[in-house]
Amino acid sequence: MKTAEIAQRYLDYFEKNDHTIVPSASLVTDDPSLLFTVAGMVPFIPYLTGVVPAPYPRAADVQKCIRTNDIEEVGHTARHGTFFQMLGNWSFGDYFKEGAISYAWELLTSSESEGGLGFAERDLWVTVYQDDDEAAELWQKIAGLPVERIQRLGREDNYWSTGQPGPAGPCSEIYFDRGPAYGREGGPAVDDNRFTEIWNLVFMQYAITNVRSKIDFDIIGDLPAKNIDTGMGLERVAFIKQGVDNMYETDQVRPVLDRAVELSGRRYGADHEDDVRFRVIADHVRSSLMLLSDGVTPANDGRGYILRRLMRRSVRAMRLLGVDAPTFPELFAASRDAMKDAYPVVETDWQRISQYAVAEEETFLRTLAAGSTILDLAVEDTKKTGGSTLSGPEAFLLHDTYGFPIDLTLEIAEEAGLSVDRAAFDSLMLEQRNRAKADAKSRKRAFADQSVYRDFRAHGETVFTGYTDLETESRVLGVLVDGVSVDRARTGQVAEVILAETALYAESGGQVADKGVIVGPGYEADVLDVQKPVPGLISHTVQITTGEVAVGEPATTVVDAANRRAARQAHSATHLVHAALRDTLGKSATQAGSLNRAGYLRFDFSWGQSLSPQTRSEIEEIANNAVRDNLEVTTRVLPLDQARELGAVALFGEKYGDTVRMVDIGGPWSRELCAGTHVSTSAEVGLINLVGESSVGAANRRVEALVGLDAFRDLAAERAIVSQLTSSLKTPRDQLPARIAELTASLKAAEKRIAQFEARALADRVPQLANTATTAGRVRVVAQSIGAASSADDVRSLALQIRDRMGEGPAVVALGATLGERATVVVATNDGARAAGAKAGALAKVAAAALGGGGGGRDDVAQGGGTDAGALGAALDAVAAELAAQGE
């Protein structure tokens, strides 16, 4: 049974049983405590916690998920995957334990001809929470399971909570017995490899508080409404129904594995380590494809870092399989073909997805080449000093700064006959993980804080009137100070104010929040920020300037009209620039993010190379021509499917409801889904001035522009500069470029002549400095300060000239100089000195330590430096002392 068929049977069954079928939410979640949708219940959290009223009493879905906390297990077990699909059915105060158990058992055990999944009853086991007698009795009553196939487990295994105060409850898990070939008898309590969990039924019925750990908390009573939250792993059911050993061999994953086998020339099933690598590649390529399809792009932090890590682990695995050439074009195409029936977007958006994938692989292959060079030097230095272990900090630097995998470092070091100080490396990695955990914990607290909005959201959605009005009368539904609901806030306090209606725009879709005030009887408050902390609710962060704001009081929101006008100009200009980019570069130049505020816009788009000045000018001209043409700007609210049929452009990764707002500028020329505020005609934008274009990652570019009066002011400033130049240089404006080029050439020639004079002056000092040589240990040494120097290269050149003048006997030259506020020391050794044990790199480190800095280099020439220029004499003395000690 194909994976897609299993999913469809699930949805068909629950639709027949009066469940609303909900499409999968994006892998990118709004939950501030999470980077991704890590479980099927994440999109339903607002309903399960009661913060937002559920729009339906019961629902079912197939939810895309990404989870990387067990990434090291991928490829080693049958069931661990970073991307997975969770089949879920949900009840919000409707049916409870009996209904959930009945539905699960019927679907699992009904024959395939009846639309079920056809599991044999004898192969199914269940676990229940140790004190949940009700669930155990229902399993006997509904399924007829014998007591020995109903196992009771503790809170660690069979109790669900968010890890925060709020809803919780016991759960019951359904397991499939894979047979004696996979492990011991005795049920899931004994062996969870043989007995594979396929479905978890959560009975959300209690409220908990004082959460001290996953298993240590206080139950304070029943929830007002009991909910059902279930999740059945689609990949787990698929590998069982398809008769294969693991999820990597199912129909949606195996094609990537097979293509990796073909590219590597190795056989799957012949070697355990190779098999793990093949499975890692199959999993990670599919996960990366799905993340890219939901708008995530490779980056060095956040979601983009997780994607980059998955992609780079895939490249690394292919390299360990002996493939150094690019493979993503073929691997990603294989995953696309396997997934396109379930997720058509991977095919319709293939050009953009493949562009990012290919660019990231090319970038990482260059990184590997650079990292290999750095590692080779580190190996060489370690061997030269007689060491046998590569330091942990060097391995960590390669991993953290260059993205060079530790496994690759270990492999190359081993080939060179060296080990790696893994304990030091692991210690540094632990420090980094602890920092990441602290950051995640701070994000997790944000989720806990959302519960404070439940009562306010229960009044319904906040009505936004700002599309048509700049002032709106309302009433205060709630006041929060420091995250706590209070009845009032007083003069000087910063508070959150919740209103029934507002004319103030909450930050979203790239448009920053409105500025303005909230006024009422005897009070006034400056608006600092406007956000949507939970879906459908708008919160105003304000500072009370006069009086006090109290719950129940009238309130009028007043928008700063000038700021709103400029923000509308910038947002509409963003749409014009987007349309101009697509006109110029083609439809593959898709939006990857934007920011617009009064007078300014920033627009990110997928493109693999910088824009030429001519292309920038063309984009700017097209956008300004649209302004000149005074195109009508219209908005429509319509079903999402209809908007897409009309060609509306959507932002990748953005989440849209069934009904959307579509903004047209000039009809279909610019047609986008957008909830922002806009001008009524394009002429109101005024002027668009592109002021910057840059890279923001592989295959991602950014343009920046000033809009309206800000654009005019910038051009006026440039005009003033040009006028000043024409006056100072006594040159007509059209001849300025040639005149400046002439002056630049003259300046370079003068600088070259000055450098020649300085080099000659330094060379003249060679005999004098060479004559200062003294004996230290077994070598002759020149250790002198030459005062201020224009560059370190000059000091290096002088040191080498002195070394050559000193003849063939063991000689060391250490020259100190000041470069601005810093001090530098260059050390040069000849063959005789090195034979006597004098290494330039080690001596440079000695000097740098005295200067409060660092240094090193090759054995023949090296450099060190620091900020303590006053210690230059001491640094040179330290070099001489070190040489003397070596001669003892």
Contact 464, 677 (CB under 8 A): no
Contact 843, 882 (CB under 8 A): yes
Count of beta carbons in the 10 Å neighbourhood of residue 215: 11
Nearest to 675 by CA among 466, 530, 457, 462: 466
Q: 572-716 has which CATH code?
A: 3.30.980.10
Q: Give CA–CA dist 820/799, Å, rounded.
A: 20
Q: What is the pLDDT of residue 97?
A: 95
Contact 562, 523 (CB under 8 A): no
Q: What is the pLDDT of residue 449?
A: 53
Contact 321, 264 (CB under 8 A): yes
pLDDT interval class at 444 (50, 70, 90): very low
User: Is residue 403 scored above 70 in pLDDT?
Assistant: no
Residues paired with residue 126 on neighbouring β-strands, in sequence order: 150, 174
The helix (H) or strand (E) run that includes residue 495 is: strand 494-499
Q: Give CA–CA dist 711/442, Å, rounded.
A: 40
Q: What is the mean pLDDT of residues 626-651?
A: 91
pLDDT tens-place string over residues 324-357 = 899 999 999 999 999 999 999 999 889 889 988 9
- Tell me the one-letter amino acid at 213: S
Q: Give CA–CA dist 568/293, Å, rounded.
A: 30
Write the CA distances from 878 to 232, 535, 769, 775, 843, integer angstroms: 69, 66, 19, 14, 9
Q: Give CA–CA dist 309/330, Å, rounded.
A: 19
Question: In the chain, pLDDT over 90 holds for what percent of residues?
Answer: 60
Lowest mean pLDDT among 280-289, 392-401, 597-606, 762-771: 392-401
Q: What is the mean pLDDT of residues 590-619?
A: 91
Q: Give CA–CA dist 275/333, Å, rounded.
A: 21
Q: 3-247 has which CATH code?
A: 3.30.930.10
The response to whether 65 counts as a known ligand-binding position is no
Q: What is the mean pLDDT of residues 21-50?
A: 86
Pairing type for strands 488-490 and 389-390 reads unpaired
Pairing type for strands 494-499 and 471-481 reads antiparallel
Lowest mean pLDDT among 91-105, 435-449, 653-667, 715-729: 435-449
Count of beta carbons in the 10 Å neighbourhood of residue 686: 19
- pTM (two decimals): 0.71
Q: Give CA–CA dist 273/278, Å, rounded.
A: 9
Q: For residue 225, what are its two tokens?
A: 């409404």
The response to whether 678 counts as a known ligand-binding position is yes
Q: 768-886 has which CATH code?
A: 3.10.310.40
Q: What is the pLDDT of residue 261?
A: 96
pLDDT interval class at 446 (50, 70, 90): very low
CA dihedral 504, 506, 508, 509 (to 10 degrees): -10
* Backbone torsions φ then ψ of 811, nearest 5 degrees: -145, 140
Which CATH number, 2.40.30.130, 3.50.30.50, 3.40.50.1370, 3.40.50.1000, labels domain 452-559? 2.40.30.130
pLDDT interval class at 820 (50, 70, 90): confident
Q: For residue 179, what are its two tokens?
A: 């047979």
Contact 62, 23 (CB under 8 A): no
User: Is residue 285 scored above 70 in pLDDT?
Assistant: yes
Q: Give CA–CA dist 239/254, Å, rounded.
A: 11
DSSP codes of every residue in 441-489: HHHHHHHHHGGGGHHHHTT-PPEE-TTT-SEEEEEEEEEEETTEEESEE
- Tell me the one-letter amino acid at 756: Q
Contact 416, 383 (CB under 8 A): yes
Q: What is the pLDDT of residue 448?
A: 38
What does DSSP assign to residue 806? Answer: T
User: Is residue 437 scored above 70 in pLDDT?
Assistant: no
pLDDT interval class at 728 (50, 70, 90): very high
- Locus of tokens 């693999």: 608
User: Is residue 442 scored above 80 in pLDDT?
Assistant: no
Give the N- to C-terminal CA distance of the chain in Å, as an integer: 80
User: Is residue 528 scored above 50 in pLDDT?
Assistant: yes
Nearest to 620 by CA among 603, 606, 634: 603
Contact 530, 505 (CB under 8 A): yes
Question: In the chain, pLDDT over 70 holds for what percent of residues?
Answer: 96
Contact 192, 178 (CB under 8 A): no
Q: What is the mean pLDDT of residues 220-225?
A: 86
- Locus of tokens 């090193």: 856
User: Is residue 191 scored above 70 in pLDDT?
Assistant: yes
Q: What is the mean pLDDT of residues 591-603?
A: 92
Pairing type for strands 700-707 and 774-776 reads unpaired
- Tell me the one-letter amino acid at 310: L
Q: Give CA–CA dist 851/459, Å, rounded.
A: 67
Q: Give CA–CA dist 757/769, Å, rounded.
A: 19
Nearest to 667 by CA among 602, 565, 575, 571: 575
Q: For residue 247, what are its two tokens?
A: 């999820």
User: Is residue 478 scored above 70 in pLDDT?
Assistant: yes
Q: What is the pLDDT of residue 869?
A: 86
Q: Give CA–CA dist 646/864, Å, rounded.
A: 65
